C-alpha cells in the first residue's frame, strides 16, 4: 500500500469570514464546516465568492473578519507555506523547463529531503496517479489529462492535510473532463484526504462530491449531499442553478401531518407532507423538476397545449402552456410512449414524489 493512501483526515472550518475588495464584498460572513476525509465542492456562478473562499483557505487572502481553522489549528493569519494545504490551479502552473519527475520533486527538494527519499516518494505518487514511465518527459510532451495528473502528484507528494482544487478541469475538452473527474473522485477516495473543489459546472459538482456548498453573492445558500441539494433546494436560486426546475406560484389552503393543500393554476390540489415550513394562508412556490412531469392524451391532470417539442434521441423535451404558464417537461422513455407535437392538447400529471415546496419570501424568491 502506498504511503500516500489513507492520509490524516482533518475537518476544515470557516467561521464568519468576510473578504472585501474595495467596496465589493466578495465573501460575506461565511460559516462553513467541511467534513474530514470528504470532497466538498464550492459551487456557484462567476463572482459568487467560491474562488475567494478557496484562496482564504490556502492563505493567499486574509479575511477582514472571521476565522479559518484546519483541524484544531487556527490558520487565519498564516501564510500559504505554513499551512498544511496544497493547491492545484486551473492552469496547472507546471515548470516547462523541468521534467515530470522534477516538477513533482520540486517541493521535496525545497524541503532538502535526501535524494533517495525524494525518488522513492516521487515514484510512489507517480504510480498512484498513473504516471509511471513518464518521469523524463517535459510537460509540453503530455496530454491535458497527463498534465493534470502531474499537478495532482506535485500537490500530493507533499502529503498535505487538505487538497484545494481551483477549477482544475476547465482547460480540458468535454470527454476528458468526465474521465478526469472520475479519476479525481477515485483518487480522493483512495487517499482519504480532505478535499475542497471549486467549479461552476453543476454536473461536475454533483458527480464528484460528498457534499456541495452553493454560493451566491458571497453568501452560502445551502450545503448538503448532491441528492439533497437537487431534491430539497433551500431557495429558488439553488433550485434554478442546479438542473432545471419549474416554479409555480400558489397559496397554501390547509396543512396537516399527511398533506398540504394548495391552490395553483386556478386548481386546488394536495401534495404529500414533507416537513414543509408553511402554514395555511402562506404564499408559496411549488418547485417541480421537468422529469417529474408526464404528458398524456387524456385523464386526470392539468390541461395544457404543447408549445415546443424537441426530440433528442434519448429524451424528448417539452414546453407546455398550462393556465398561461410555460412548463418544462422531459420524457426519458419516449421509446415506450407516443411523442406529442407542437399545438397538440395534452394533460400533464405531476409525479407526487417530485414536488418541493417553499414559502415565498425575499429569501426564496431569488433565481439565477
Q: What is the pLDDT of residue 355?
A: 83
Mean pLDDT of 165-189: 87
Question: Does the pLDDT of residue 80 top 80, yes or no?
Answer: yes
Phi, psi of 195 (to 5 degrees): -130, 135
CATH of the domain at 295: 2.40.50.100
Buried b (16+ CB within 10 A) or exposed e, 335-361: eeeeebeeeeebbbebeeebbbbbbbe
- One domain, residues 222 and 249: no
E strand or H helix that includes residue 250? strand 246-255
Domain final residue pick, 188, 210, 237: 237
Are 299 and 285 spatial neighbours (Cβ–Cβ below 8 Å)?
no
pLDDT category at 327 given cuts 50, 70, 90 is very high
Q: Which residues pair with 268 in a beta bridge?
A: 263
Q: Which domain holds residue 262?
A: 240-359
When divided into structural domains, the chain yields a total of: 2
pTM given for the model = 0.89
- One domain, residues 282 and 266: yes
- One domain, residues 218 and 276: no
pLDDT category at 364 given cuts 50, 70, 90 is low
Amino acid at each position: 500500500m502506498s504511503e500516500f493512501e489513507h492520509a490524516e483526515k482533518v475537518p476544515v472550518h470557516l467561521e464568519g469570514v468576510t473578504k472585501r475588495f474595495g467596496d465589493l464584498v466578495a465573501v460575506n460572513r461565511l460559516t462553513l464546516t467541511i467534513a474530514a476525509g470528504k470532497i466538498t465542492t464550492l459551487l456557484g456562478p462567476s463572482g459568487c465568492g467560491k474562488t475567494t473562499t478557496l484562496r482564504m483557505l490556502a492563505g493567499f487572502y486574509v479575511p477582514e473578519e472571521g476565522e479559518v481553522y484546519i483541524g484544531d489549528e487556527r490558520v487565519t493569519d498564516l501564510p500559504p507555506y505554513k499551512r498544511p494545504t496544497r493547491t492545484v490551479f486551473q492552469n496547472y502552473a507546471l515548470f516547462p523547463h523541468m521534467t515530470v519527475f522534477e516538477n513533482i520533486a520540486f517541493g521535496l527538494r525545497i524541503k532538502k529531503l535526501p535524494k533517495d527519499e525524494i525518488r522513492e516518494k516521487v515514484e510512489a505518487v507517480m504510480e498512484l496517479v498513473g504516471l509511471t514511465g513518464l518521469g523524463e518527459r517535459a510537460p509540453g510532451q503530455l496530454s491535458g489529462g497527463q498534465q493534470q495528473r502531474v499537478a495532482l502528484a506535485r500537490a500530493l507528494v507533499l502529503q498535505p492535510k487538505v487538497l484545494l482544487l481551483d477549477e482544475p478541469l476547465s482547460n480540458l475538452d468535454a470527454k476528458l473532463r468526465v474521465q478526469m473527474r472520475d479519476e479525481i473522485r477515485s483518487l480522493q477516495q483512495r487517499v482519504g484526504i480532505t478535499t475542497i473543489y471549486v467549479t461552476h459546472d453543476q454536473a461536475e459538482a454533483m458527480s464528484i462530491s460528498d457534499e456541495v456548498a452553493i454560493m451566491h453573492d458571497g453568501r452560502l445558500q445551502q450545503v448538503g449531499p448532491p441528492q439533497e441539494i437537487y431534491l430539497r433546494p433551500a431557495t429558488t436560486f439553488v433550485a434554478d442553478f442546479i438542473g432545471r426546475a419549474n416554479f409555480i406560484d400558489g397559496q397554501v389552503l390547509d396543512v396537516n401531518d399527511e398533506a398540504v393543500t394548495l391552490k395553483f393554476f386556478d386548481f386546488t390540489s394536495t401534495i404529500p407532507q414533507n416537513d414543509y415550513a408553511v402554514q395555511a394562508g402562506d404564499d408559496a412556490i411549488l418547485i417541480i423538476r421537468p422529469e417529474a412531469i408526464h404528458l398524456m392524451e387524456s385523464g386526470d391532470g392539468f390541461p395544457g397545449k404543447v408549445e415546443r417539442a424537441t426530440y433528442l434521441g434519448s429524451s424528448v423535451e417539452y414546453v407546455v402552456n398550462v393556465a398561461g404558464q410555460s412548463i418544462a417537461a422531459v420524457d426519458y422513455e419516449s421509446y415506450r410512449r407516443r411523442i406529442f407535437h407542437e399545438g397538440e392538447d395534452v394533460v400533464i400529471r405531476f409525479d407526487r414524489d417530485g414536488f418541493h415546496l417553499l414559502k415565498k419570501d425575499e429569501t426564496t424568491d431569488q433565481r439565477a
